[in-house]
Chains A and B, each alone.
Chain A
């Protein structure tokens, strides 16, 4: 299985009146064919910023200041890549949080789909485009594609709209799909429907997917691997089931403990709140809220400790528990 999308030491900065602020710090990711990587984090953790950087949708004052994002080994994060627009929408598809964010309300679904196909697959004849649209909508579980194509977004239900947004993201058969909280706004039944759809997409079309969410249990269910973000850094990564059943980082543990279970008297939250982003990145960002933090946690730079071939954590305690590793700086996620 080859790596489709990778991020190497990606740092994202926002230019503000008070100087640059790091929103995402030293992030490493690898997503292989047919693999779903769940990017977990609470709001403000930088997960959406990281996802948007991949699609090149950062705000004007925000930029990838160091590191690189590569698609099949080719850099796509540098501003010099002028054919980046050809990559967007053809090799990378994006599904947004809600369909109202991804669909033009004044344009029929068919026209929006055709527009993307025409943009990226010029060689297709009118007939071939029609066939492709029919095919992709059936793949998205629509039994009457013609009616959907002739509809405006507001004429469809919420779940249908989100399936249309997914169709828009995959109609060009991209190698990677970035799904940003794309199930969060849906009710439980529709959510299950969409999750099933995403799953079949990766198994049938071998699409690689970055699934951004705050829902750890959903990620465990859908994703093959999980990366947990906290305050702009990835603090733990590994096999989805492994991360949930045997979390290494205290933050991941706290997150899992915070999930309410049946018969529980009181919901366990995490004390305190995440730090505000700042230029200074000394020490562990979770230390102030960490139940097992020690003095040195806030003082030393915390390196990445591999705990397996494709797993690891950013924590001093994990580093001590792993005798072979010596706090490698090379973060291989």
Chain B
């Protein structure tokens, strides 16, 4: 188990390094933020001065070295636009993002998993067909459209929920429902295919031959091995939702990381963009680490192989 954790951690550090390097070079490749900050009327002297201040006149490799050094000391720098520490900005937006992501993910799991299980129990049956149709819809409907439609119906027409902003549990419902559709669809599809595979295994017939109750066979014997790929996709989705549900946050004016990222990109605030990407990568890596460890808990064979 210790060896498993160590090897996974080494992997995680490597992933983080690659992701943050990519973020660094891509942000630099998008052009200088100096003009964006000073405006069109700035003199060449002013531009040169700010460029030097931001360290942008140094060779790229030197900038990169400085970036990595800062990263190791957990210094993500300051935002160009807000003049505030990037870490503080992210920390300020994080609670709202976590709230939204968690709620959406819970909804997705609570609906997707049972739907997938029931569909797998009766392949080709009514539930199966409805589920696969819903899954297809959930994966193909654009989120901005769905969000707008929900606002139109439940906020404007019926007035049940607020149309945007974060204030109270009420305002969480519409964005969470919108955000949950894609993961819900994927979770349902994956649960179905994974369950259906396990249900055809010999040990399931054997459990039937022992006269065990149907629910016991489904939930205890079949779902546990079938849950491995589902755990993976839930982890991936959690990372995706946490590190910025860009579209949905934008549509619902949700003050989370996603909308912060949108603003940062629009204002070419690349220390902030960089920081958000690094943070997102960190979230992904941590969640993947958690998923890997969870694998070992679910399947004893994985625990021992490592």
Tell whether, in the assembled complex, residue B210 and residue A168 are in contact, meaning their CB atoms are under 8 Å apart: yes
Tell whether, in the assembled complex, residue A101 and residue B206 are in contact, meaning their CB atoms are under 8 Å apart: yes
Contacts of A100 in B (CB 8 A): 202-203
Contacts of A115 in B (CB 8 A): 210, 212, 216
CB distance from B47 to the nearest CB of A (A): 64
The docked-state distance in angstroms from the alpha carbon of A86 to that of B300 is: 31
- Interface pairs A-B: 5 shortest CB-CB: A101-B202, A89-B211, A89-B210, A88-B211, A102-B206
Most buried by A among B201, B205, B213, B221: B205
Contacts of B299 in A (CB 8 A): 105-106
Interface residues of A in 80-126 (CB under 8 A from B): 85-90, 92-94, 96, 98, 100-107, 115-116, 119-120
Cβ of B207 under 8 Å from chain A: yes
CB nearest to A84 among chain B residues: B211
Tell whether, in the assembled complex, residue A96 and residue B298 are in contact, meaning their CB atoms are under 8 Å apart: no
Q: B190-222: contact bitstring with A at CB < 8 Å (1 yes, 0 no)?
A: 000000000001110111111111001000010
Q: List 24 A-B contacts (CB under 8 A).
A: A56-B209, A57-B205, A88-B209, A88-B211, A89-B210, A92-B209, A93-B210, A98-B202, A101-B202, A101-B203, A101-B205, A102-B206, A104-B203, A104-B207, A105-B203, A105-B225, A106-B225, A106-B300, A115-B210, A116-B211, A116-B212, A119-B211, A165-B206, A168-B206
Contacts of B210 in A (CB 8 A): 88-89, 93-94, 115-116, 119, 168
Tell whether, in the assembled complex, residue A105 and residue B301 are in contact, meaning their CB atoms are under 8 Å apart: yes
Tell whether, in the assembled complex, residue B203 and residue A103 are in contact, meaning their CB atoms are under 8 Å apart: yes
Cβ of B129 under 8 Å from chain A: no
The docked-state distance in angstroms from the alpha carbon of A56 to that of B221 is: 19
Q: Which of B209, B212, B213, B300 contacts A94 (CB 8 A)?
A: B209
Cβ of B58 under 8 Å from chain A: no
Contacts of B203 in A (CB 8 A): 100-105
CB nearest to B224 among chain A residues: A106
Interface residues of A in 265-282 (CB under 8 A from B): none
Tell whether, in the assembled complex, residue B207 and residue A119 are in contact, meaning their CB atoms are under 8 Å apart: no
Contacts of A105 in B (CB 8 A): 203, 225, 299, 301
Q: Which of B202, B212, B216 contacts A96 (CB 8 A)?
A: B202
The docked-state distance in angstroms from the alpha carbon of A106 to that of B299 is: 6
Contacts of B207 in A (CB 8 A): 104
Q: Which residues of A contact B (CB under 8 A)?
A: 55-57, 85-90, 92-94, 96, 98, 100-107, 115-116, 119-120, 152, 154, 165, 168
The docked-state distance in angstroms from the alpha carbon of A57 to that of B299 is: 27
The docked-state distance in angstroms from the alpha carbon of A2 to that of B142 is: 70
The docked-state distance in angstroms from the alpha carbon of A100 to that of B301 is: 14
Interface residues of B in 113-165 (CB under 8 A from A): none
Contacts of A85 in B (CB 8 A): 211, 213
Q: Which of A55, A90, A92, A106 contacts B298 (CB 8 A)?
A: A106
Tell whether, in the assembled complex, residue A154 and residue B202 are in contact, meaning their CB atoms are under 8 Å apart: no
The docked-state distance in angstroms from the alpha carbon of A101 to that of B211 is: 16
CB nearest to A83 among chain B residues: B211
CB distance from B125 to the nearest CB of A (A): 11
CB nearest to B202 among chain A residues: A101
CB nearest to B300 among chain A residues: A152
Contacts of A154 in B (CB 8 A): 300-301
Q: Which of A86, A96, A98, A165 contacts B211 (CB 8 A)?
A: A86
Contacts of B202 in A (CB 8 A): 96, 98, 100-102
Q: Which of B212, B298, B300 contacts A119 (CB 8 A)?
A: B212
Contacts of A92 in B (CB 8 A): 209
Most buried by B among A55, A87, A106: A106
Tell whether, in the assembled complex, residue A104 and residue B221 are in contact, meaning their CB atoms are under 8 Å apart: yes
The docked-state distance in angstroms from the alpha carbon of A102 to that of B205 is: 8
The docked-state distance in angstroms from the alpha carbon of A154 to that of B300 is: 9
Contacts of B301 in A (CB 8 A): 105, 152, 154
CB distance from A22 to the nearest CB of B (A): 22
CB nearest to B212 among chain A residues: A119
The docked-state distance in angstroms from the alpha carbon of A85 to that of B213 is: 8
The docked-state distance in angstroms from the alpha carbon of A85 to that of B208 is: 8
The docked-state distance in angstroms from the alpha carbon of A231 to that of B202 is: 24
Please give 4 more A-B residue pairs, beta carbons under 8 A apart, in addition to A88-B208, A89-B212, A119-B213.
Answer: A55-B209, A89-B211, A94-B210, A115-B216
The docked-state distance in angstroms from the alpha carbon of A93 to that of B208 is: 11
Tell whether, in the assembled complex, residue B211 and residue A90 are in contact, meaning their CB atoms are under 8 Å apart: yes
CB distance from B150 to the nearest CB of A (A): 40
The docked-state distance in angstroms from the alpha carbon of A92 to that of B209 is: 8
The docked-state distance in angstroms from the alpha carbon of A154 to that of B302 is: 11
Tell whether, in the assembled complex, residue A120 and residue B300 are in contact, meaning their CB atoms are under 8 Å apart: no
CB distance from B215 to the nearest CB of A (A): 12
The docked-state distance in angstroms from the alpha carbon of A116 to that of B212 is: 7
The docked-state distance in angstroms from the alpha carbon of A70 to that of B298 is: 41
CB nearest to A98 among chain B residues: B202
The docked-state distance in angstroms from the alpha carbon of A51 to that of B208 is: 14
CB nearest to B222 among chain A residues: A104
CB distance from B190 to the nearest CB of A (A): 18
CB nearest to A165 among chain B residues: B206
The docked-state distance in angstroms from the alpha carbon of A93 to that of B39 is: 83
Contacts of A56 in B (CB 8 A): 208-209
The docked-state distance in angstroms from the alpha carbon of A105 to that of B198 is: 12
CB distance from B71 to the nearest CB of A (A): 40
A57 and B209 in contact (CB under 8 A), knowing A96-B202, A105-B301, A154-B301?
yes
Most buried by B among A86, A107, A165: A107
CB nearest to B301 among chain A residues: A154
CB nearest to A100 among chain B residues: B202
